[in-house]
Structure 1
Amino acid sequence: DDAVMKEFSLSANSNQRKPNSHLSILSMVDAWNKLQVNPYDNLICQTPPFRLRLGIAEYLFKNEELLEESIETALYDKSIRGDDLEFHSAVRDWSAIINYGDIEGYKLHFNQTQTFFKDRLEHGRHQSAEMIKRLMKD
């Protein structure tokens, strides 16, 4: 698993590992727990992007050392606070739009996000599918 994860690293130098809070993964799993949602009971779990996120969450939570490192990093590593704040702000923005039922704001925000990722989506789909295939094989 580690070798496959290294192979698909987005880092220019995958040998030089930097601790990560994995805040999005921790938040997702915390939300499932608080809402008493079993992701395996949901049909969305069958989509490749969701299976990839679920697999990453499983990988994180089955590796106690990595999970502890993620929690420590989230609490004490100030070098990643900017990235974590960006994540927090994005979640807050989406949450506010959804809570207010602002469909026009939702469409605008969605379209801006879609434009930002437009040139990256096909490569991301290919990478995700290949990673899932490799991880399922091992």
Structure 2
Amino acid sequence: MLACDGDGLRARVYQAREQVFSSVKAECVPIFLTEDGLDQFTIGGSGRSSPTGTAAPRANSQLAFLAVVYCWAHLNIQPFDHLDLAMTAIFRMWIGIAECLFCSTERLDAAIRSVVYDVTLRSDDLEFVVAARGWSQCISFGSFDLCKRWFLETASFFESRFDEASAIGSEMIKAISES
């Protein structure tokens, strides 16, 4: 991201895509979420730039989902294999969003371009990276007090977004549960 190495990032992301979603055909129709279904759940206002909804959505790095799938690949986790054990709405939502992102070359390439070249969300993306590194360090130190402190500091960063995110998350979980 900071090195602006789009080709290197694309290679790593596409390798993760192949490993995690190899059983799902590229350019597939996602089984849990559709493009329209995903686009209706946007924090911070409409994902469309016009009131008619005809303009392209604003680019989003989807950094959290790039990271989740990258981690799944490196841990040899096949999320679809775990559906029998964890068919909760939350797990379906995570898989569904990741699947929708990774099964669309257009959407995946837009996310990669955004994470590398679009600085609009860079400060949020960097906060995500710092938080992920912090969580990793807290866990490696094995300190519950440190984990609690890090959690509270992370929560304060997102506090202004909780109400909107909770409402949208509840709507999304309801829609997924009904699908």
- TM-score category of the 2 structures, normalised to the smaller one: 0.7 to 0.9
What amino acid sits opposite 1:97 in the alignment? C
**Cα 1:108/1:121, change in 2 over 3 Å:** farther
TM-superposed CA distance for 1:38, in Å, is 1.2
In 1, Cα distance between equivalents of 2:74 and 2:100: 20
TM-score (norm 2): 0.64
Partner of 2:173: 129
Paired position in structure 1 for 2:134: 93
After superposition, the C-alpha distances for 1:9-47 in whole angstroms (9 at most, x for unaligned) are 223233212101111101110111111111233366422
Residues 38 and 101 of structure 1, relative CA distance in 2, 3 Å threshold: same
Query: Which runs of 5 or more structure 2 residues have no equivalent in the other structure?
Result: 1-33, 50-56
Q: Whole-Å Cα distance in 1 between the matches of residues 134 and 35 of structure 2?
A: 34
Alpha-carbon distance, 1:75 to partner:
1.3
Report the CA distance between 1:122 and its aligned residue.
5.5
CA–CA separation in structure 2 for the residues paired with 1:15 and 1:121: 18
Q: Which amino acid aligns with 2:35?
A: D
Q: Partner residue of 1:18? A: 58
> What residue in structure 1 maps to residue 113 of structure 2?
72
Q: What is the match of residue 145 of structure 2?
A: 104
Q: Contact between 2:61 and 2:111, CA under 8 Å: does it hold in 1?
A: yes
* Equivalent residue pairs, number: 135
Which residue of structure 1 aligns with residue 38 of structure 2? 5
TM-score, with length taken from structure 1:
0.81
| More deviation, 95-104/8-17 | 8-17
Indicate the larger mover: 32-41 or 19-28.
Answer: 32-41
* 1:123–1:28 distance in 2 versus 1, CA, 3 Å: same
Structure 1 unpaired stretches of 5+: none
Matched, 1:36 2:36: no
Q: Which has the higher helix share?
A: 1
